[in-house]
């Protein structure tokens, strides 16, 4: 199942106990994402998409099953190894609080390289180029408080990509943006995923945003309800509304 894929899961389960009753937030999900593929994860609240994303990013340990990124099984790792793996092989953007408030756009992007001990003159230029590619050439030395929500999300995207991770994960990156900016952000995200040949997964409530994805996994009650693969199906689902 996992061969040739940048990201894959095998019978992934996350169980919780509530009032003495066991329930599965994620119920035996197996999926695979290739390098350069951008996958949308949609579903109503409580469908398990954020729990799945947390397990894909090595922030949450599955109850059973495997998460394999770049050929490495995360289940075999210690907590310390998972932290290091996240730092090196995973790129992440969040709904909010994406950036360190006292670092400029450029410094926020470079932080990822500092954490990995890889900040050199060459990658510094790459950080500038990437931010310029995201339309932020004039904002390199601005603090997050001096940028709009959309600009902050674009800085977060640059930070998620700068260290050449195997997978890039986004949790509701457009939740606090207006429609126009949301489209700009996700479109740019999709372009970069394709250009940089990373496996990308975006969790979103806003079905309009899945227009830019290559495949959509719809979840319900911890299970995969349906997978949309053709452009026509995805466009039809996206047209159904903001979610």
Cβ 126 to other proteins, closest distance in Å? 16
Contacts of 168 (CB under 8 A, 6+ apart): 90, 91, 92, 93, 160, 161, 189, 193, 198, 199, 200, 201
Binding site for other proteins (CB under 8 A): 14, 16, 25, 50-51, 53-54, 57, 59-60, 80, 83-84, 86-88, 90, 92, 94-98, 100-103, 107, 111-112, 114-119, 143, 159, 171
C-beta closer to other proteins: residue 14 or 66: 14
How many CA within 13 A on the CB side of residue 6? Answer: 23
C-beta closer to other proteins: residue 78 or 230: 78
Cβ 109 to other proteins, closest distance in Å? 11
Cβ 97 to other proteins, closest distance in Å? 4
C-beta closer to other proteins: residue 104 or 211: 104
The burial of 214, by beta-carbon neighbours within 10 Å (0-12 exposed, 13-18 middle, 19 or more buried), is given as buried
Contacts of 192 (CB under 8 A, 6+ apart): 133, 157, 161, 198
Q: Which helix (H) or strand (E) holds 113?
A: helix 105-115
C-beta closer to other proteins: residue 69 or 237: 69
Cβ 48 to other proteins, closest distance in Å? 8
Q: Which residues pair with 224 in a beta bridge?
A: 219
Cβ 13 to other proteins, closest distance in Å? 13
C-beta closer to other proteins: residue 49 or 66: 49
- Is the Cβ–Cβ distance between 238 and 207 less than 8 Å? yes
- Is the Cβ–Cβ distance between 90 and 69 less than 8 Å? yes
C-beta closer to other proteins: residue 90 or 131: 90
Residues in the chain: 243
CA distances from 187 to 92, 126, 218, 241, 243 (A): 17, 21, 20, 17, 18
- Is the Cβ–Cβ distance between 105 and 140 less than 8 Å? yes
Cβ 168 to other proteins, closest distance in Å? 12
C-beta closer to other proteins: residue 147 or 234: 147
Cβ 29 to other proteins, closest distance in Å? 15
Q: Which residues pair with 7 in a beta bridge?
A: 33, 69
């Amino acid at each position: 199942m996992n061969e040739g894929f940048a990201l894959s899961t095998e019978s992934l389960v996350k169980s919780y106990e509530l009032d003495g009753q066991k329930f599965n937030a994620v119920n035996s999900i197996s999926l695979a994402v290739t390098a350069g593929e951008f996958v949308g994860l949609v579903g109503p609240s409580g469908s398990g998409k954020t729990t799945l994303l947390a397990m894909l990013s090595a922030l949450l340990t599955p109850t059973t099953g495997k998460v394999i990124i770049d050929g490495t099984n995360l289940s075999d790792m210690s907590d310390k190894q998972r932290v290091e793996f996240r730092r090196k092989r995973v790129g992440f953007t969040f709904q909010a609080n994406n950036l360190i408030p006292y670092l400029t756009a450029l410094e926020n992007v470079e932080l990822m390289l500092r954490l990995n001990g890889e900040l050199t003159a060459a990658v510094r230029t790459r950080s500038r180029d990437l931010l310029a590619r995201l339309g932020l050439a004039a904002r390199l030395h601005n603090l997050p408080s001096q940028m709009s929500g959309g600009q902050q999300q674009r800085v977060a995207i640059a930070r998620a990509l700068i260290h050449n991770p195997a997978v890039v994960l986004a949790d509701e990156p457009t939740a606090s943006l207006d429609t126009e900016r949301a489209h700009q952000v996700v479109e740019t995200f999709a372009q970069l995923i394709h250009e940089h040949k990373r496996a990308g997964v975006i969790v979103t409530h806003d079905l309009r945003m899945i227009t830019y994805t290559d495949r959509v996994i719809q979840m319900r009650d911890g299970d995969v309800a349906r997978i949309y693969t053709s452009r026509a199906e995805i466009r039809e689902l996206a047209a159904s509304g903001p979610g």
